[in-house]
Amino acid sequence: MSSLPGVTSAPVRAVPRRRASRVRGRGLVLGFLSVLFVTQVYPLLWLVIYSLKTNEEILSGSFFSLPHALQWVNYKEAYVSGTYLKYLFNSFFVTASTMAVVIVLCSMVAYAITRFRFKYASAVMLVFLVGIMIPLQATLLPLMIIFKHMGILNTYLALILPYISFSTPLAVFVLSGFMRTIPLEIEESAVMDGASITRTFRSIILPISVPPIMTVSILTFISIWNEYIMASTFISSQSLKTLPFGVYSFVSQYSVNYGAIGAFLVLGALPVILIYFVLSEKITKGMVAGAVKG
């Protein structure tokens, strides 16, 4: 019991009966939490093992067994025939462009809403507020019709544009929530010194707002990097597919090469998992902040 990582159990010797039952209760709780840990994490681990097996080993039905020889060839197969790098690049390009635009445009709007004196400030906020409740999939069909007319169906733009707009409301909330707390004196002294509003925004407000911008970046990154439905609806060229869509097409194409499918799924999950290992605290904090402010 005391060997669980990060857990220290109460000293057991010579405890009164009430304490003893409490220790037992604690053991039960830790057991329960460990079971939950296994159900949440083991499927992912299982996938890694699965991806290193041969088809025969997978079909033989002994799911506890480890592969006899690690089948790195599955990864080679996935990597070569799945054009992994191309998908990775597309995902990266689309996500990065979306994030850049979202951060710039949304911090401008957030600043205007919280600081500028104009009649429609609360109306603008309301527009974003209502937008949060609109389900993304209701716009799929009309957007497809509109994009077709604009001639941008099956281009990067057909993904970046809707991604920007669907990341906007949350970003505006998080940013304006923060900017409201910046003391006005800071800007007043800057304006007094002759700095323009644009200048004040760029060299004072933006640098102060790095923490909420981090939050917005994380929220946008996670949702856009993982987005599948729009990509599969608006994109048809092999060379423009993002990673989730690419993974999906690979899986449906190579439906009998189980190990390679597993390998491609692992490769598909890898970028996010790596980032999560490095930034897990920032990511969890950002996601909670996004939830609480959204």
Partner 1 sequence: MNALNVPKRTIALFVLPCLLLYILLVFIPILVSFYTSTLDWNGIGASRFIGLGNFKELFTKDPVFWPSVGRTLLFALFSMAEIPFALFVAILIGRYVRKPNFLVSSYFLPVILSVVVIGQLWKTIYNPASLGGMLNQLLMAVGLEHWTKPWLTDPKVAIFALFFVSLWQYLGYHVLIQFTGIQNIPSEIYEAAKIDGAEGLTADRYITLPMVLPIFKISIVLSVIGSLQAFDMIMVMTGGGPAHATDVISTHMYNMSFLSMRYGYGSAMASFLVMECLAATLLLIAVFKKLESKYA
Please state the closest distance from residue 17 (CB atom) to partner 1, in A. Answer: 16
Tokens for 256? 């009998």
| Amino acid code (one letter) for 119 | K
CA 206 – CA 191 distance, rounded (Å): 16
Per CB under 8 A, which of residues 7..66 are in contact with partner 1? 7-8, 26, 29-30, 32-33, 36-37, 39-41, 43-44, 46-47, 50, 58-59, 61-64
Write out the DSSP string of 66-106.
PPSS--HHHHHHHHHHTTHHHHHHHHHHHHHHHHHHHHHHH
Residue closer to partner 1 (CB basis): 73 or 254: 254
Q: Which of residues 156-195 bind partner 1 (CB under 8 A)?
A: 161-162, 164-166, 168-169, 172, 184, 187, 191
Map the footprint of partner 1 across residues 266-285, applying CB under 8 A: 268-269, 272-273, 276, 280-281, 283-284
CB 288 to partner 1: min, Å: 5
Does 261 bind partner 1 (CB under 8 A)? Our answer is yes
Torsion angle of the four alpha carbons 186, 191, 196, 201, in this order, in degrees rounded to the nearest 10: 10
DSSP 137: G
| Residues contacting residue 98 through CB under 8 Å, at least 6 positions apart | 160, 163, 164, 167, 220, 224
Return the structure tokens found at 123: 């109306």
140 binds partner 1 (CB under 8 A): yes
2 is an interface residue for partner 1 by CB under 8 A? no
72 binds partner 1 (CB under 8 A): no
Looking at residues 188 to 217 of the shown chain, list those that interact with partner 1 (rule: CB under 8 A).
191, 197-198, 201
Question: Going by C-beta distance under 8 Å and a sequence separation of 6 or more, which residues neighbour residue 3?
Answer: none
Compute the least distance from the CB of residue 73 to partner 1, in Å.
17
263 near partner 1 (CB under 8 A): no
